[in-house]
Structure 1
Amino acid sequence: MNVIDKAHELARAIKESSEFVDVSSAMRVIEGDPDSKAMLDNFRAKQVELQQRMMSGEMPPQEDMEQMEKLFEVLNLNLAIRRLFEAERRLSVVIEDVNKIITDSLAQMYSGH
């Protein structure tokens, strides 16, 4: 068994999953609505900026964090964006589960089980 081939097989299975299809479908709807796309792009850009600041050791001011929470709440009022966020959450659960399975199997190597 070739591990890399299995990884590609897993990637294909994820792309064919209902969770991935739901994210793709939700994104197509947003791509077709310039206002929704602009709102989402603005949110994602701010999200990336905050994450980069945090990764560099800077803790963003509380006001920035509260502004992001409010922006997230506003975005959730948009049904297309809410659908995307929910689909992304479900897909991330699948990916977290896959990661846990892999991590747990490697941990067994070190625990002797």
Structure 2
Amino acid sequence: MNIYDKAHELARELKNSEEFQEYKKLNAEVMQNEKHKEMIEDFRAKVIDFQLKNYGKDDQNPEELEKIQTLQNALMMNSEISKFLIAELRFSQMFEDINKIIVESIKLDE
């Protein structure tokens, strides 16, 4: 089996994982509600904007960070959005862990 076959196998495993299936299901549910969709997209845009503004800086704007945290807390009070965001976090964490394993395994200095 070549490396590309293994990559496709990993992709299938990710797609069939419990974490992805739950995330996919909840994404479909939450995005059907236009208000929820708008709230999530607004939150994501604000987080990305904050990250871009603060990339590489030692001191982040505490007021902006507090606004994002307040918005996140408000979103988490909605049970549907909360379930979705938790599922998204679980899948993202799994994906990040897999990426870390791959990157660490191919370090050139070892």
**TM-score band (shorter)?**
0.7 to 0.9
State whether residues 53 and 59 of structure 1, in contact with CA within 8 Å, keep that contact through their aligned partners in structure 2: no
Q: Per-residue CA shift, 1:16-73, capped at 9, x if unaligned? A: 1110111111111111211111111110111111122223759652111100000000
| Native 8 Å contact 1:36 1:78 kept in 2 | no
* Aligned residue runs from structure 1 range 21-40, under 5 A: 21-40=21-40
Runs of 4+ with >4 A deviation = 56-60
Note the 1:6-21 alignment, pairs <5 A.
6-21=6-21
User: What does residue 93 of structure 1 align with?
Assistant: 93
TM-score by length of 2: 0.85
Percent identity among equivalent residues? 35
Deviations 1:65-99 (A, max 9, x none): 10000000000001111111111121122212212
Structure 1 equivalent of residue 61 of structure 2? 61
Instruction: Give the Cα–Cα distance (whole angstroms) in 2 for the partners of residues 6 and 78 of structure 1.
Output: 40
**Secondary structure of 2:91's partner?**
helix
Gaps of 5+ in 1: none
Counterpart Cα distance in 1 of 2:87 and 2:7: 23
Q: Give the number of equivalent residue pairs.
A: 110
Amino acid at match of 1:82: S
* Local SS of the residue matching 1:20: helix
Over the residues paired in the alignment, what is the CA RMSD in angstroms? 2.0
Identify unmatched segments of 5+ residues in structure 2.
none
User: When the two structures are superposed, what TM-score results if normalisation uses the length of structure 1?
Assistant: 0.83
